[in-house]
């Protein structure tokens, strides 16, 4: 794929909370480009709170997910490193901690496995997969 290529994107988030598993999936379109050997994906999501622009930056074992709009956050994923962010919503904010277990950056896929800690007391195992391919038009 070349610079600023239109792509179709499939996002799947699987959350394990003890014996319960929740899967959230959606399809969207966005832009893919390479800059300084880093993969960038930019797409928009519709949330109950409004529209959110998501930018995913991935390279050599590190992923950064930035969201702006109705939800604002900037979360780094690094293997075996604990990172924190503030998840800002119109009615308040939550502190989120992430302990990244796995990062896979392949051709057309970014996969993250991580524990998320919400306000220091709830821990959930997340598997986030973002698959993208050039739109055929």
pLDDT tens string 84-119 = 988 898 888 888 899 999 999 998 999 999 999 886
- In the chain, domain spans: 5-134
**Residue range 5-134 in CATH 2.40.128.20:** yes
- Model confidence at 81: pLDDT above 60: yes
Predicted confidence band of residue 19 (pLDDT cuts 50, 70, 90): confident
pLDDT above 70 as % of the chain:
96
- Model confidence at 126: pLDDT above 80: yes
Q: What is the pTM of this model?
A: 0.90
126 with 112: CB under 8 angstroms?
Answer: yes
Strand duo 20-35 + 92-106: pairing: unpaired
Who contacts 70 (Cβ-Cβ below 8 Å, separation ≥6)?
A: 47, 49, 50, 51, 52, 89, 90
- Model confidence at 9: pLDDT above 60: yes
The arithmetic mean of pLDDT across residues 78-82, rounded, is: 92
∠ Cα 125 129 131 (to 5°)? 175
């Amino acid at each position: 794929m070349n610079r600023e290529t239109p792509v179709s994107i499939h996002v799947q988030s699987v959350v394990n909370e003890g014996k319960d598993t929740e899967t959230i999936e959606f399809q969207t379109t966005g832009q893919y480009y390479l800059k300084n050997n880093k993969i960038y994906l930019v797409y928009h999501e519709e949330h109950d709170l409004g529209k959110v622009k998501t930018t995913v930056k991935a390279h050599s074992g590190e992923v950064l997910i930035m969201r702006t709009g109705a939800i604002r956050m900037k979360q780094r994923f690094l293997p075996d490193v604990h990172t924190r962010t503030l998840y800002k919503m119109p009615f308040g904010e939550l502190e989120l901690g992430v302990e990244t277990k796995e990062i896979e950056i392949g051709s057309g896929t970014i996969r993250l496995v991580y524990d998320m800690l919400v306000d220091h007391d709830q821990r959930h195992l997340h598997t986030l997969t973002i698959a993208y391919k050039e739109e055929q038009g």
